[in-house]
Structure formats: structure tokens, C-alpha cells
Amino acid sequence: MDLATLKALEPAEFLEAADGYRSTSDMASGAKDRIERRIAVAMRNSLKGEAATAAIKQLGELSKNFHYVQIECGLVSTALEAFSYEMGAAKRKLEAALDAARAAKFTVHADGSISYPPGGERGEDGKVPEGGTVSGLTDGTASAVGRQAANVDPNPHHRLAQEYADRIVGALKEATEVDEKWAPKLRALKADDDLTVSDTDWADASSDTRGVSEAGKKYLDSLPQPPEKGSPKDNAQWWKALSAEERGGGGGPAPGPRGRGGGGGAHEGVSGERNG
């Protein structure tokens, strides 16, 4: 992740994509419930015979497909929300460092290095200490050496420039780690291009659930949590107190297959084509 890419990246766009997947997950959940609770029940109560039995069986298969869509789209939504949350934190750190450098009237270059002007008290030769250019450092030893050199420089701008450059490269490093973590997770959220939800598909969904839940722990832990060991009444009151945004974006992962709990580079976007 380079400076230009992180500056241009808009985490809110990934939240918008997450909302789309969440809406699809909710639609699939509603369709599954209608099939299981209304249509199939009505058919069992009013129709008999082989044709009716076969039709009900087909409805069951359709319900599985909607359930699978619910799970996978819920996982994509949660993954995108977590990516946006973590990348947003890195971008805010970058913007704060850039703002500080601009306020000091330093020049930030495309590679994240910073040039600072001459400054400080005149030396014995009557000259003001020269300016210079520094690059950010993330290695512990190199960073310590860089700070030491800046601290002994009679130009006070050197120390600030080094600090801001380190903050910039630190934000870029964090953003790169976020991207590298979520890119394979999002690429893994694919389904076979058929209408049969097999045991292999359910196992894959379960693996996806664990992957998203583990990778997104920081994000999921940041969401409003229900009362620990709360009663149904306590949970209902907690839910009622949430804002619409907290209920929607903070709804967490979709239900996993067969009742299991679900889970809710990457910055280049997620394809809208998901077969399943």
C-alpha cells in the first residue's frame, strides 16, 4: 500500500458494498423463512401424493440455497465492514500525520519522505542549520538511530520531520497488513456455480465463518455487545436501545449453517458476481 493509494482510498465505499451484501443476506433469510414456515407447511396440510412430496422436497432444496446465500452474503458483508473499520483506522493515522506535516510547512513527497527547511540558531560560522529530507522508519533499531540523529541536529525541524515521516510509514505499513489479511479472506468467499448445496459447501461455509470471525475479531469486539448472561428481557431491552446504524452495520455475522454461529489486494474491490 503506497501513499497515493491510501490517500485515495475511501473506506465508506466498502461499507456501502457491505450494506448491499447485507441486504441480499436479509432477503435470502426472509425467503428461506417464508418457504419453511408458510409455503411448505401449507402444501403439507393441503396436498397429498407423490407429486406433492416431490414438490415439497424441491422446496427444501430451494430453502437450502437461500440459507446458503444468507450465510455467504452475511460473511462478505461482515468481512467488508471489518476491512473498512481497520483500513479507516490506518487512513486516519495517515491523515493526522500529513496534517501535522503541512502545519509545520514541510513538504511530503510521493514516497512518504519529508523535506524540512533550514532552521535553528546560527552556528559559529554564522549559518542557519541546513534543511534536509528524511524517510520514515519502521524497524526498531533503524528508527532509534534515526531519532537519535534528529535529536542531535541543531535544526529542530529535523526531529519533527522524522516523527511525521515515521508516522506516515507506520500508517502505510498498517494499511498494507490490513489489505494482505483481508484480500485472501474475501477471495475465498466464493461458491460453486450450481444449485446443489452439498455437505462440502456447508463445510466450506463453516471454514469461511471461522476465517472471517478470527480475522475480524478487532472489528467484532468493537460492536455493541449484548448483556453477558442476559435474560431474553435484558437482550430485548439492549436491542431496543441500539441505533438503526448499530442494528444494521453492527448486527454482526449472519447465522451459520445448521444453526452454527456465522461470521459476518482487498482494497481493489469485491466482485458482485457470486455464484451459489
How many Cβ atoms are within 10 Å of 133's Cβ, its own excluded? 13
Residue pair 206/257 in contact (Cβ under 8 Å)? The answer is yes
Cell readout for 254 is 449472519
Give the rounded percent of residues in the chain with a pLDDT score beyond 90.
56
Mean residue pLDDT across the chain? 85
- The four Cα atoms 71, 76, 79, 80 give a dihedral, to 10 degrees, of -140
155-168 average pLDDT score: 95
Lowest mean pLDDT across 5-14, 77-86, 184-193, 253-262: 253-262
The residue with greater pLDDT, 99 or 246, is 99
pLDDT tens digits, one per residue of 18-32: 999 999 999 999 999
d(CA 188, CA 201): 12
Q: Report the Cα–Cα distance between both ends of the chain, in Å, rounded.
A: 32
d(CA 113, CA 168): 9
Close Cβ partners of 54 (under 8 Å, ≥ 6 residues apart): none
The residue with greater pLDDT, 195 or 215, is 215
Residue 265: its pLDDT value, please?
Answer: 58
Residue 240 Cα distances to 89, 120, 172, 220, angstroms:
29, 59, 39, 20
Give the rounded percent of residues in the chain with a pLDDT score beyond 70.
86
Confidence of residue 162 (pLDDT cuts 50, 70, 90): very high
- The four Cα atoms 239, 244, 245, 251 give a dihedral, to 10 degrees, of 40
Residue type, 270: V
pLDDT tens digits, one per residue of 211-242: 899 999 888 888 877 777 777 777 777 667 76
Residue 241: its pLDDT value, please?
Answer: 74
SS3 category, 134: strand
Cα 8 to its chain centre, rounded Å, is 17
* Most confident of the ranges 29-43, 184-198, 219-233: 29-43
pLDDT tens digits, one per residue of 53-96: 999 999 999 999 999 999 999 999 999 999 999 999 999 999 99
Confidence of residue 243 (pLDDT cuts 50, 70, 90): low
Residue 254: its pLDDT value, please?
Answer: 41
Residue 252: its pLDDT value, please?
Answer: 41
DSSP summary character for residue 116: E
Confidence of residue 250 (pLDDT cuts 50, 70, 90): very low
Close Cβ partners of 26 (under 8 Å, ≥ 6 residues apart): 70
Residue 264: its pLDDT value, please?
Answer: 36
Residue-range domain boundaries for the chain: 3-11+79-268
Confidence of residue 142 (pLDDT cuts 50, 70, 90): confident
Positive/negative CA dihedral, 49, 52, 56, 61? positive
